[in-house]
Structure 1
């Protein structure tokens, strides 16, 4: 099997190309920072619907759980997407 990035032969059971990932220049800190950036972006995106729901329904109508769940879900999603993107961008 050939690597789609570098074109060198890769063992069939390999998860990553040993040639591309052998001299990794991206640090684990950069991957973590990518995850945090994604998480914060997700949190920001989740805060917008939260504020709209609070404005429309008010906190007394049982919306508190939804208002809490939306940012948590979007933060988690953003965190995962940020980590995956940073991991995929390893050099």
Structure 2
């Protein structure tokens, strides 16, 4: 079974505030909760540590359904609710 990748399956969806997203500027991509979206940056919060960072808007995309499920499981396993 092939991995679900946005570039292969559909158009990349840009996240909005409150969405789970991934910053693909690093390898592997860094998942987080979108706190703020501006034309110059996207402010995100790490799912388990709570660390915040700013990312370039063009490197951030909304999670696929599979990635979002993985993120929600990670949050539940870590025991945090942001």
**TM-score w.r.t. structure 2 length?**
0.25
**TM-score w.r.t. structure 1 length?**
0.23
Task: Name the structure where strand makes up a greater proportion of residues.
Answer: 2
